[in-house]
Structure 1
Amino acid sequence: MTTAISIANGGFAIDGIPTYPGRSWRGRRIEGLLFNSRMANAIADDENPATRGAWSYADGPWDAERSTRGFVAALPSYRAHGLLAVCLNLQGGSPQGYSWHQPWKIGGFTSDGTIKPAWAARLATVIEACDALGMVVILGLFYGKQSPTLTDEAAVKAAVTNTVDWLLQRKATNVLLEIGNEVDLPNVFAHPVITAGRCHELVDLARKRGQGRLLVSTSLITLDAPPEALLAACDFLLPHGNAVNGPDGPPQSSPHGIRLQVARWRAGAGYRGQPVVYNEDDHFDFDKPDNHLVAAVESGASWGYFDFRRIRERFEDGFQSLPVDWTISSARKRAFFGLLKEITGA
């Protein structure tokens, strides 16, 4: 691997050079940020024969290898617009965007925490393709509704150590690790060690296993600061903006906006200057002078685009709902990438 991600002076650097070097936008510093997009299902497969048919392409059956090939083919266009990171998860993400009932079997771990070979092969393809483009993979391990596939806490810890070992063996220096997706959501994760109250144990496990060669965090949806132990353990911070109502939030809204969320996380006990990275936010308004992306930038935080196919939308819409059109194919995608290109000067 030739692309190496690191943290320096409170921001990100690739190969020792700050991201977007020297760049500012509307008087705000862009250097050191890490703009990203959630593509949680880029290496996903569904092993449930009762549900995988729902993800069929118009011209053929669902095909995980085809999906990953299409994703890799689209990476250069993302990079050309200034995107530096893509977000994947070894237990995927809901292929319907938001859904409480999730009967599909999407997950890259066996019940004892071993990485499935086919998932590992697709992940290696993506990491290598990103490496060639100077891009970063934010790799999530656990997704709430798929976490019960792991037998017990020992299997959860094995999944962490197996993934870290696999990354180190491949010398994958362009990967940031996200232990779990929104670990503060109640009644979602099957194992308490993944949840916000104990997730610092897994962050510490991954950091120690990584021997200083891997940066580790986990994502949360809370407006308020995460628990002190978790905030202190993470190398970088991963708030999500899905439950936040606007850049500042209407006066009566709860929770209030992005600017307040960033400020509260930084004011939390345990904060030690880590960079803040939104790697999931489903608010857009890219044509307006103020929106979640702009608010994050003005707060000195990186921002991540989360787009799924809404009801009655087309195949071209969204980056999570299966099957995915990985090209910049919809008005919403074009609006995001257009603003991103302006901000980054790509």
Structure 2
Amino acid sequence: MESSFKIGIVFLVLFIMGCNSKKTFQPTVNVSIKGEQFYINGDPTFKGRIWNGVSVEGLLPNSRMVQGIFDDLNPETVNKWKYPDTKEWEPDRNTNEFIMAMPDWRKHGLIAFTINFQGGSPEGYSSVQPWENNAFEPDGTLRTDFARRMEKIVEKADELGMVVILGIFYFGQDERLQDENAVKNAVGNVVEWIQNKAFTNVLIEVANECNNRKYDHDIIKQDRISELILQIKEKAPELIVSTSFNGNTIPPDDVVKVCDFVLIHGNGVHSPSRITEMVEEVRNLPSYHPMPVVFNEDDHFDFDHAENNFAAATKAYASWGYFDFRMKGEGFDEGYQSVPVNWSISSERKTAFFNKVKEIFID
């Protein structure tokens, strides 16, 4: 009887341990590049798809969703981001609602989004940024809570067949790193984190708009950003790496030469014809060789018009990324960058974008 009791206890303990243990992550999405096309698991994205006589096979429609792991570590500013219902800021709620919204994005044909370890301006655009939305300790160590939230998002993206454009630095927060060694440590720690988690659905954007004058650390700026790109390639040659530039800017040859794909921004580009020109100018660079051209930030809409930046980029065979923030006088349902965020397709502007994605890539 005593022996049976002991055996029962052992099985009970093993059962409880099994319930409490996290299942080991097994990646199902492997993103790669062949020429100008993105591939997922060996096939080009949207294989064989034609829209208005134009092939969209191999493109990567995306949206700027950089606040998915947002938190504010500055007690003097954290109350700016209170939810309208609970009257407090809740970082885990933010991430959980992001994850809940992802299946609907994917259903509409969105297969990629940009997220950043240092976020972006929670006001859309800001002249000063006193808040601290920053996944790194001053020495570049990755903060556990931020990494945990990012892990949940990347794993959900893998489950849904989505690609994550993973940003490391943002010009409103890089000053939180104490020196250049801390910057290098941060890069190394992100790469190690990706490798340890076995993520294969990630593209890296080393810095958001590396030519922005607000960056503090020279090594993140345009003239030296290639050093960080090469640091990643040396440590993890399997990773796909790039960096972005301010709106309406063509990247310089020394950066394009070391990138695996070209990231450009459409902010400030009010004419769709200029979007076409930008793509042509990139492809005419001496350093350019066949690789994808991707807009991963553009705050222009007009999706109901025959000509708009999204359509122009697509016709030029470049991937395009939506950037939407809460504009003056707008409420909680508007925008994907202003905090707190309603991550669902909750406004006319969001609906128009996602319907356009669906029209081009699904219907």
Same fold (TM over 0.5): yes
1:90 aligned partner: 117
2:301 aligned partner: 284
Moved more, 114-123 or 262-271: 262-271
Q: CA deviation at 1:273?
A: 1.4
Instruction: Tell me the TM-score normalised to structure 2 length.
Output: 0.91
1:332 aligned partner: 349
1:226–1:268 Cα contact (<8 Å) kept: no
1:62 aligned partner: 89
Q: Provide the rounded CA distance (Å) in 1 between the counterparts of 2:249 and 2:74.
A: 38
2:269 aligned partner: 244
Q: How does 1:243-322 map to 2 (within 5 A)?
A: 243-248=268-273, 257-322=274-339
- Does 2:251 correspond to 1:226? yes
**Which consecutive unaligned segments of at least 5 residues does structure 2 have?**
1-26
Q: Provide the rounded CA distance (Å) in 2 between the counterparts of 1:81 and 1:268.
A: 34
Q: 1:262 to 1:138 in 2, by over 3 A?
A: same
Q: CA deviation at 1:208?
A: 1.4
Q: Could you say which structure has the larger radius of gyration? A: 2
1:126 aligned partner: 153
Q: CA deviation at 1:221?
A: 2.1
| 1:165-219 superposed Cα distances (whole Å, 9 cap, x missing partner) | 1101111000000000011122x10111111111111111111111x22100000
2:193 aligned partner: 166
SS in 2 for 1:140: strand
Q: Provide the rounded CA distance (Å) in 2 between the counterparts of 1:285 and 1:222.
A: 18
Q: CA deviation at 1:224?
A: 4.9
- Does 2:70 correspond to 1:44? yes
1:197–1:227 Cα contact (<8 Å) kept: no
Q: CA deviation at 1:245?
A: 2.0
2:251–2:264 Cα contact (<8 Å) kept: no
2:232 aligned partner: 206
| 1:101-143 superposed Cα distances (whole Å, 9 cap, x missing partner) | 1110110011111110000000000010000000011010000
Q: 1:10 to 1:307 in 2, by over 3 A?
A: same
RMSD: 0.9
Aligned residues: 336
1:224–1:265 Cα contact (<8 Å) kept: no
Q: 1:223 to 1:321 in 2, by over 3 A?
A: closer
1:252 aligned partner: none
SS in 1 for 2:295: coil
Q: CA deviation at 1:226?
A: 1.6
2:249–2:264 Cα contact (<8 Å) kept: no
SS in 2 for 1:318: coil
| 1:220-250 superposed Cα distances (whole Å, 9 cap, x missing partner) | 12545322110100000110000212202xx
Residue of 235, 238, 241 corresponding to 2:260: 235
Q: Provide the rounded CA distance (Å) in 1 between the counterparts of 2:151 and 2:283.
A: 34
Residue of 39, 42, 58 corresponding to 1:32: 58
**Which consecutive unaligned segments of at least 5 residues does structure 1 have?**
249-256
2:177–2:183 Cα contact (<8 Å) kept: yes
1:225–1:268 Cα contact (<8 Å) kept: no
SS in 2 for 1:233: coil
Q: Provide the rounded CA distance (Å) in 2 between the counterparts of 1:165 and 1:262.
A: 33
Q: CA deviation at 1:145?
A: 1.6
| 1:264-287 superposed Cα distances (whole Å, 9 cap, x missing partner) | 111112111110011100000000
Match for 1:265: what amino acid? V
Moved more, 220-229 or 164-173: 220-229
Q: Provide the rounded CA distance (Å) in 2 between the counterparts of 1:3 and 1:39.
A: 20
Q: Provide the rounded CA distance (Å) in 2 between the counterparts of 1:3 and 1:88.
A: 18
2:264–2:296 Cα contact (<8 Å) kept: yes
Moved more, 158-167 or 1-10: 1-10
SS in 1 for 2:261: coil
1:221–1:243 Cα contact (<8 Å) kept: no
1:224–1:264 Cα contact (<8 Å) kept: no
SS in 2 for 1:172: coil
Match for 2:84: what amino acid? A
Q: CA deviation at 1:50?
A: 1.1
Match for 1:230: what amino acid? V
1:15 aligned partner: 41
SS in 2 for 1:338: helix
